[in-house]
Chains A and B, each alone.
Chain A
Amino acid sequence: MDQAITNRRSFIKKMAMLSAMTAAASMFPGILFADQQEAGIPSGANLDWKKGPCRFCGVGCGILVGTENGKAVAVKGDPNCQVNKGLLCVKGYHQTMCIQSKDRLTHALVKKNGQYVKTPLNEALDIVANKMKETIEKHGKDSVAMYTSGQSTIPEGYVASKLMKGAIGTNNLDCNARLCMASAVAGFLTTFGADEPMGCYEDIDHADYFITWGNNMAEMHPVLFSRMLEQKTRRDAKIIDFATRTSRSSTASDKSILFEPQTDLAVGNAICYEIINNGWVNTSFVEKHCNFSKGLTNMGYGIEDNYKFSDKPSKIDFEAYKKFLEDYTPEKVSKYSKVSVKDIKYLAAIYGDPNKKVVSYWCMGMNQHTRGTWMNNLVYNIHLLTGKISQPGNGPFSLTGQPSACGTAREVGTFTHKLPKGVVMNEKHRRLAAKIWKVPYERIPAKPTYHATEMFRAVDRGDIKFIWTQVTNPLVSLPKTSRYRPGMEKDSCFVVVSDVFPTPTSDVADVILPASWHIEKSGLYGNSERRTQHWNKMVEGPGETTPDAWMTIEVAKRMGFGDLFPYSEENHVEEIYNEYRQFHEGAKHGMAPLEVLKKESGVIWPYVDGKSTQWRFNAKYDPACSNGEDFHFYGKPDGKAVIWQRPYEPAAESPDSEYPFWLNTGRVIEHWHTGSMTRRIPVLHKAMPHAYVEFHPDDAKVLGIGNGENVKVISRRGSCILPASINERGLPTKGQVFVPFFDENMMINDVTLDAFCPISKEPDYKKCAVKVEKV
């Protein structure tokens, strides 16, 4: 009894400590407690520390998990990992606390007569394989789909792609990274012809200025933000926050500049105008390494089903580009962006100063944008015009939201148009995939099918009759869930959900498969800075939980594709990675051998002659440069990057007399995306138990709304009731409300709009029109 009470007391002490840490994290942007977990470890404990990447965001912090008697009992930052150098954020420290949640999915569940029935996994996998096969036989191969994740491991993404594209022969594979990173991908490909940032996190140690574009790093990328704050203190580096809402990042920055939603396009062009007008162009760099192009405009917003768009780029010259920018003088842009002329000139002068090193960071603000590809192009324009790129401390850097949005979604290619190397539209790329997969080349279709939004529209329309989701919760994370939830509930589609915990998505499943959590399986992730990270299985999962990769392989075997999946259960991660590595051989994307990844806390690709390439396209650092010049943008056939002429165009839906507020949605530091894991971590849930709607105090006063009072947020799609938050975590501009999307009980995505960027097909979660009513 005494022992039980002592255990309870030590648990409560730990909870008290974590509560205070979490409170501190919400008050002090970038705060870190490096020794926290070690302090909680009982003296004399004999822990076995195992390395891996953090389960949560795209920063890719290295963690050490302390295990004792087969249980994960502590997490600390990995001091050998260059990403975080031993530091972690509050989510990172607490991550393993969700594993033992009481409602963990431990066995397969099959819906029979409206009830979920516990079913042996082998039987559930038989049902999945038979249903998939039967659907293909009856309705064709494009009637089945898989929807995976930027949280899937590299092997999981790889076998999903191989099953769908190589074995079945359909491009009906897309993933939730479409919702967060697709605009960054399209931006990189259109400008450089090669995906992913050219720089790395070490840029933080060299830059004089950090300009964050619509990005609340203090809450979303806290470890990187803490590294920036350290440079601010140590070297007087400056942080400039350019956003539509005052956040924790704004208050910790040297300067906060607010802009009207969607006008970042105009401000980006105004900065370029100023750079040219003031003679700050790095002429020799631009002449040697850049082309100028323009594309189609007035593309629409993809709001209608079956929307199609293909850009038609055409070359222009510098003079035409300069002429185009005359519409974007600071004076003209200031009028509608609500950014002062002085501030536009201030931003341009930072980029234009040849003696200052500048890194631009962005994440969802620029990517979840109906002109997200254009916005990415515009920031590249600024860095290309000034030649501030591919050098330590100088460069544009797109941050990712998920731990393997880069490694799995982008590099393995779990998008409808992608292959592990290249795209399905390219014959050479299809031939390479067919050769490595040992399938007939003709089996891989040359046309992409459904991107994420269109995939769930196809489910709703009845065109997709079987869908299997893995490691994702689309019925909380998709825009306009008010359409897609009833769509998934229809009898016309058989739904398989593979997950760790029950979610609103598993609630509509016909079969629920119990997935292993992160450290219950071996795997590999790839973070924002091209770092591939391996980990070995650390603990046994409960019940019949199984890695997603293995469940995919088992289904493939049952469908008759066993010869294409000759992997062993014990070593499938290693065998799959070694097969996958063949796709990227060479100096431009070579991946490190598994033996190296097992030893190191992550290795950056291209990995050439035993070395990581930290700055791509710069001949000083990148052995793939072969043009004899100092820079070589080898993703493009002529080795030159493209400066794009991209205009300002309005949002898909703007406030009007009926719906007078902008709705902006996003995240909070305590919760990871849809909250299915972090809401099961008691200290994080207690710190942020539910969502809220933030108001500007002037708007709240006019509406007579007080802090905590319930408010109904209504759009043309749906509504959501939340308590008001005034002058608390964040401060939206007047005429805007902000709601975090982590709370499945307050479904703000019932309200959002499914408009997307016509080039990247990434939805815009940051802008739609709503009205609000006091309840």
Chain B
Amino acid sequence: MPIKSYLAHPHIGKKNELAETLSKIDQCEVMPAENKNVIVLVTETDTDQEDEQLKEKLETIPSLKLLALVSGFNTPSPNKN
């Protein structure tokens, strides 16, 4: 189950819009910086395929200028015994 963190750089003046869009996506958790034009994004998906799909979806968000990966983890699913 991939967990990844990114720095999401919005287009100028679009930080709030980007934060709102990202926070509406189930697999996303966001932390906008107080005083800089950047948002910390953590994604959590069930499979690598879902992770890929999410990444593709994120890249189509109009207010997003650049998505930079910081860390990636893979953990066991809570449903597995």
Contacts and interface: CB of A to CB of B under 8 A. Distances in A.
Contacts of B75: 5, 8-9, 12
Contacts of B13: none
A20 interface: yes
A230 B31 contact: no
A296 interface: no
A4 to B, nearest CB: 9
14 contacts: A9-B78, A12-B73, A13-B3, A16-B70, A17-B40, A20-B40, A20-B41, A24-B7, A27-B7, A28-B38, A30-B36, A31-B35, A31-B38, A33-B31
B44 interface: yes
A5 B35 contact: no
B5 A19 contact: yes
B42 A2 contact: no
Interface in A1-15: 1-2, 5-6, 8-9, 12-13, 15
A13 B38 contact: no
B58 interface: no
Interface of B: 1, 3-7, 29, 31-36, 38, 40-42, 44, 70-71, 73, 75-81
A23 interface: yes
Contacts of A625: none
B29 A20 contact: no
Interface stretch (A34-42, A316-324, A393-401, A602-610): A34-42
A36 B71 CA distance: 17
Nearest to A7: B78
Contacts of A17: 5, 29, 31, 40, 42
A190 interface: no
A732 B78 CA distance: 50
A122 to B, nearest CB: 46
Contacts of B42: 13, 16-17, 20
A35 B31 contact: yes
A23 B33 contact: no
Contact of B3 (A5, A9, A30, A31): A9
Given A5-B76, A24-B40, A34 B3 contact: no
Contacts of B76: 5
B25 to A, nearest CB: 15
A725 to B, nearest CB: 20
A16 B5 CA distance: 5
List the 10 closest pairs (A to B, CB-CB), nearest first: A16-B5, A20-B5, A19-B71, A20-B40, A32-B34, A20-B70, A31-B36, A28-B36, A5-B78, A23-B70
A19 B6 CA distance: 9
Nearest to A18: B5
A48 B76 CA distance: 33
Contacts of B33: 24, 28, 31-33
A226 interface: yes
Interface residues of A, number: 30
Nearest to B80: A5
B35 A226 contact: yes
Contact of A13 (B29, B32, B79): B29
A248 B20 CA distance: 30
Contacts of B3: 9, 12-13, 16
Interface string A248-264: 00000000000000000
B29 A33 contact: no
Given A24-B33, A28-B36, 13 more contacts: A8-B75, A12-B3, A17-B29, A17-B31, A20-B5, A27-B7, A28-B33, A30-B35, A31-B34, A31-B35, A32-B35, A33-B31, A33-B34
Nearest to B33: A31
Most buried by B among A20, A21, A28: A20
A16 B1 CA distance: 14
A668 interface: no
Contacts of B7: 20, 23-24, 27
Contacts of A20: 5-7, 31, 40-42, 70-71
A229 interface: yes
Nearest to B43: A16
Nearest to A3: B78
Contacts of A23: 7, 70
Contacts of B36: 24, 28, 30-32
A19 B35 contact: no
Contacts of A229: 35
A35 B33 CA distance: 9
Contacts of A54: none
A633 to B, nearest CB: 37
Given A16-B42, A17-B42, A23-B70, A2 B35 contact: no
A677 interface: no
Contacts of B71: 15-16, 19-20
A74 interface: no
Contacts of A31: 33-36, 38
Contact of A21 (B1, B4, B31): B31
A166 B1 CA distance: 63
A87 B34 contact: yes
A97 to B, nearest CB: 16
Contacts of A6: 78
B4 to A, nearest CB: 7
Nearest to A1: B81
A9 B79 CA distance: 13
Contacts of A230: 35
Contacts of A30: 35-36
